[in-house]
Structure 1
Amino acid sequence: MTASNTASDVLLQTPLHALHKELGARMVPFAGYDMPVQYPAGLMAEHLHTRTQAGLFDVSHMGQLRLVGPDAAAALETLLPVDVLGLGLNKQRYGLLLNDEGGILDDLMFVNRGNDLFLIVNGACKVTDIAWIQEHIGSRCEVIPMPEQALLALQGPAAVNALQAIVPGVENLVFMTGGSFTWEGHMLYVTRSGYTGEDGFEISLPGSAAESFARTLLAQNGVMPIGLGARNSLRLEAGLCLYGNDIDITTTPAQGALNWAIQKVRRTGGERAGGFPGAAKVLAEIDHPYSLPSKRITLLGQERVPVREHTELHNEAGEKVGEVTSGLLSPCLNQPIAIAYVTLSSATLDTTLFALVRGKKIPMKVVPSPFLPTRYYRG
C-alpha cells in the first residue's frame, strides 16, 4: 500500500477493530488493514507477558479458504512440495506455494478436515494466492474463500487453561492438530499451533462472534491483548520467517533453509516425487547444496546494538557477504538477534560476521535456530 492511500478510511478493518480502539491500541496500516501494533502496556510488556502467561492476537487479516472435492488433496500436491495426500485427519502441516522458478509465492498452513482442506495464507498475499490456486486447480476442486471468518491466536503457557475454560476439550489437542468445537452456538475450528514458539492455539470463527469471543478470552486469568510489534519480536526469537522479509518470490526453499518442510515422499523416488512448480530447480538445490548463491542463517549479536533489516554483513576481511532481513533487540535475551542471507562460506555455525551500523562494525555470531527453546505441546 502506497503512502497516498494509507488513510484509515481506505484501510480494511477486522471484526475486532472497535475493540482494539476501545483497548487503546495504536493502529497502523498492515497488509491493507488497520491493525494494532501495540497497546498501552507497550511492546516489551506484551512480549514478556506472552512468554510467561497468555497473549491474544487478532490475525483476521490472514486469508482463510477451503478446498472441497475428492481430488482436492491430489490437486493441492501439484502446487506444494509437501505431502498432502498422506496428511491424517485433523492434522496440520506447513507448506510453501511455489512458482515455476521455485520461488516462494507464500508460506501457509493447511489442515485435513476430512470434508475439506482448510488453508491459512498470509494477509498481504491472500488475493494473489487465491487467484493462483483457482487458476491452477480450480477445475479439480472447489476453491472457496472464507472472508466471513475471523482468526484469533492465543499464545503462551497459560493459553490452554484460558481457552479450555470456555471451550472444553481443546486441551486434548496436540501441536499441529485441530478440531471442531462450539462456543455459545458458534462453530469454531481450533488448531494447536501459532507463530511465537510457545504453546498456543489459532481459532477460526465467524466474524460476527469474534468480538464477544475475544472479550470472553480477555476476561480469563492471565490473558492480555498483543499487537503486531510483539508478534514480530516473538516470531523472530522463535527463528520463524516473515514472508516479505525473510522469504519471498526470489527465495527457493533450500536458500531459505526450509528443506525440512519438504517430506521425503516429494523429494526422491516414487511417483509422488517432484510434480510441483519449480521442482527441477528445488530438488537440484537440495541435492547439491553447495551450489546455492546464499543461505538463510540466524545471528546473535555480541554487543548490545540493535541490527535492523537491510543492514550489510561483512566478513573479517571486510568483504560484503550478505544482508540482514529481520533484526531487533531480543526482549528475552537482551541481545541483538537477526535473520540474514549470506554466502555459503559465511554460513557455518560459530562464524563471526560484522554488521555495519552507522559506520561501526558490530560483531555477530552465526548460531542455531531458534534463539529460544520452543514450548510446543506434543503430548
Structure 2
Amino acid sequence: MATRRAISRAATRIQHARATVPTVHSVKRTRTFVTAHQPRPARQSALICKRQEDAHQQTRNYASSAGVSKTQLYDFHVSKGGKMVPFGGFLMPLQYSDLSIVDSHHWTREKASIFDVSHMLQHELTGPGAANFLASITPSSPKTTKPFHSGLSALLHPTGGIVDDTIITNLSSGWKERYYFVTNAGCRDKDLAFIQDSIHKWREDGQNGEIQWTTFTDYGLVALQGPLSAEILKSLKPTTAEKEPFSVDELHFGQCKYLHLADIDQPCLVSRGGYTGEDGFEISVPSSSSGANNTLKLTEALLQAGGESKVRLAGLGARDSLRLEAGMCLYGHDIDDTTTPVEAGLSWIIAKDRREAGGFNGSDTILSQLKSKKDGGSGVTRRRVGLIINDKAPAREGATITNEDGEEIGTITSGCPSPTLGKNIAMGYIKSGMHKAGTEVSVVVRNKARKATVSKMPFVPSKYWKGLSAGL
C-alpha cells in the first residue's frame, strides 16, 4: 500500500501543470531539407523554435505557453479511459482507468503493454555526407554500424555535454547512406535548432557530402513491451516489404526490419528494443496516403491479437518506473547539457574507433575523461550510480546524498518505489571514489538522513531477445 501511495504522489506531480493547458492543436507533417551545398533555408516557426534556456525544464514542465499537441491516438486514449496530462508538448496518457500505475507496471513485466510514444520526434538523414555528419555530432561510428542495426547514442555539444540521447539506426543500402534516429519530445525545439546549426557549420567548414535531413511529425511510434510481445506481433502475420512471411524470432535486440502489419498500406519499421528492460518492439508507423489513421489501426490490431488477457494499454506512470528499474536515463533529470557520457556511465556508447581518432563534438574533453589522472587523463569528479534506499521513504529528485560524516557527496536525479523489487530505488550523481557498488551512503529525505547502498544497474535484469541460442 505504501508503494501505491508513493507512486500516486509521483503521478500527481506529473500532472501538476494540467490546469493551465493551452489550446490543443493536431500534429502536422513537416519536412526540412538541408544540403551541404545549398543556401541555408529560413527557419520555420513550426519547426525551429526558441531554444529552451534550462534543460531541467524540458521533460517535466508538462504545460507550455507554446501550446500542447495531440498524437494520432489522442481520441483513442480518451475513449479507453486514459488520464491525459501535458508532457513534452503533447497531451499523453499518464495511466488508464482499468489499471493502476503499479498494476500496469507489473502487467508489462509479466505480459505485454502498448505505449504511445508518437510524441518523440523521428528524423532521417540521407546523402553521401550523412554518416560523416552524424559522426561529427555523436560519439557513434555510423559507417561501421551494420545495416538495419541500431544503437544508443547522444547528440553532443562542443563542450562534451549531452544535447539529447537518441537511438540511431543504419538504414543504408548499397551506396546510399541513410540513417534514422529518434529524439525526445521535451528536447524538440533545442534538438531541431542544434541539428540545423550543426549542418550550417558543417557547410561553412567546407565539409564534403550532400545531406538531406527530414523530420516525420505525422508518423506514429508505438512501443509493444513485455514477455508476450513477440507472440502478439506474430499473431499479425507480418510480411516483408516483398510480401514474404517473416518470423520476428529472426529479429534480435538492436535489429530492425520493414514489415507489413495489420493491412497498413505501407511497411512499418519494426525495431526490437525499448525503454523498459523487457523484450519488445518499437514500431514506426508511416502516415497513410488515403488519410487513414495507421497508428490507430496498428494499435487496435495489437490489442485484438493479444486480447485483454495478454496485452493492455500503458501510460507515462508505468513507463517511468519501468525505465528506472532498467537503469535507463531520463533526459533533463539523469542527463542534461552539462553531463558528459563518461560522467553519466554511458562510456559504452563511444565507438571503439572513435576513442583514438576522436573528431566528434567534445571529443577532447570526453576522451580525456576516459583516462584517470595517473594515466594522463582528467578523469571525472562525479559519476551516475544506482541506489537502494534502505528506508520506507522514497528518495526523490534533488535529494542530497551524504557520506558517513554528513558531508554532501551527490544528488538524486530520479527515484521511486520499485514495484518489482518492493524497495525504494534511485539514481543520481555521486563523488568519484564513492561510486562503487556496495558503498554505504545516506540520502536526506524529509530532513532526515536515510541509509542507502550504491547499487549496480539495471536494478531488474534485462530480458532482451538475442536469439534462440543466446541462453544455451
Higher-Rg structure is 2
Residue range with higher mean Cα deviation, 38-47 or 161-170: 161-170
Name the SS of the counterpart of 1:321 in structure 2.
strand
For each residue in 1:162-185, what CA deviation from the matched residue of structure 2 results, as whole angstroms up to 9, or x when unmatched? 012114223320000000011212
Tell me: CA distance 1:5–1:279, structure 2 relative to 1, closer, same or farther (3 Å). farther
Q: 2:85 — aligned with what?
A: 28
**Equivalents in 2 of 1:213, 1:349: separation in Å?**
43
Q: Identity over the aligned pairs, expressed in percent?
A: 37
**Equivalents in 1 of 2:371, 2:435: separation in Å?**
18
For each residue in 1:236-290, what CA deviation from the matched residue of structure 2 results, as whole angstroms up to 9, or x when unmatched? 000011111100001011110111111210002xxxx211111111111111277
Q: 2:256 — aligned with what?
A: 178
**Equivalents in 1 of 2:323, 2:461: separation in Å?**
12
Q: Pairwise mapping of residues 338-377 of structure 1 onto structure 2 (< 5 A)?
A: 338-377=426-465
Residue range with higher mean Cα deviation, 335-344 or 298-307: 298-307
Unmatched segments (≥5 aa) in structure 1:
none
Q: 2:368 — aligned with what?
A: 284
Q: Does 1:216 align with 2:301?
A: yes
For each residue in 1:16-53, what CA deviation from the matched residue of structure 2 results, as whole angstroms up to 9, or x when unmatched? 00010011011111000000011111100110000000
Q: Retained in 1: the 8 A contact 2:371–2:379? A: no
Q: Give TM-score, length-normalised by structure 2.
A: 0.77
**Equivalents in 2 of 1:128, 1:329: separation in Å?**
32
Residue range with higher mean Cα deviation, 328-337 or 69-78: 69-78
Offset at 1:372? 0.8
Q: Pairwise mapping of residues 37-186 of structure 1 onto structure 2 (< 5 A)?
A: 37-40=94-97, 41-114=99-172, 115=176, 116-137=178-199, 139=203, 140-168=210-238, 169=246, 170-183=248-261, 184=263, 185-186=265-266
Q: Retained in 1: the 8 A contact 2:368–2:379? A: no
Q: 1:7 — aligned with what?
A: 22
Residue range with higher mean Cα deviation, 121-130 or 96-105: 121-130
Q: Retained in 1: the 8 A contact 2:395–2:426? A: yes
Q: 1:323 — aligned with what?
A: 411
The AA in structure 2 aligned to 1:280 is D
Aligned alpha-carbon RMSD (Å): 1.7
Aligned residues: 375
Offset at 1:187? 2.0
Tell me: CA distance 1:2–1:49, structure 2 relative to 1, closer, same or farther (3 Å). closer
Name the SS of the counterpart of 1:19 in structure 2.
helix
**Equivalents in 2 of 1:316, 1:332: separation in Å?**
29
The AA in structure 1 aligned to 2:88 is A
For each residue in 1:290-325, what CA deviation from the matched residue of structure 2 results, as whole angstroms up to 9, or x when unmatched? 742211000012222211111111111011111100
Q: 1:241 — aligned with what?
A: 329
For each residue in 1:202-249, what CA deviation from the matched residue of structure 2 results, as whole angstroms up to 9, or x when unmatched? 000124301121111112221100000100000000001111110000
Unmatched segments (≥5 aa) in structure 2:
1-14, 25-66, 204-209, 239-245, 288-292, 468-472
**Equivalents in 1 of 2:225, 2:323: separation in Å?**
11
**Equivalents in 1 of 2:149, 2:326: separation in Å?**
22
Residue range with higher mean Cα deviation, 235-244 or 166-175: 166-175
The AA in structure 2 aligned to 1:209 is N
Q: Does 1:378 align with 2:466?
A: yes
Name the SS of the counterpart of 1:215 in structure 2.
helix
Q: 2:274 — aligned with what?
A: 194
Q: Does 1:275 align with 2:359?
A: yes
**Equivalents in 2 of 1:167, 1:11: separation in Å?**
36
Name the SS of the counterpart of 1:219 in structure 2.
helix
Tell me: CA distance 1:160–1:306, structure 2 relative to 1, closer, same or farther (3 Å). same
Q: Give TM-score, length-normalised by structure 1.
A: 0.95
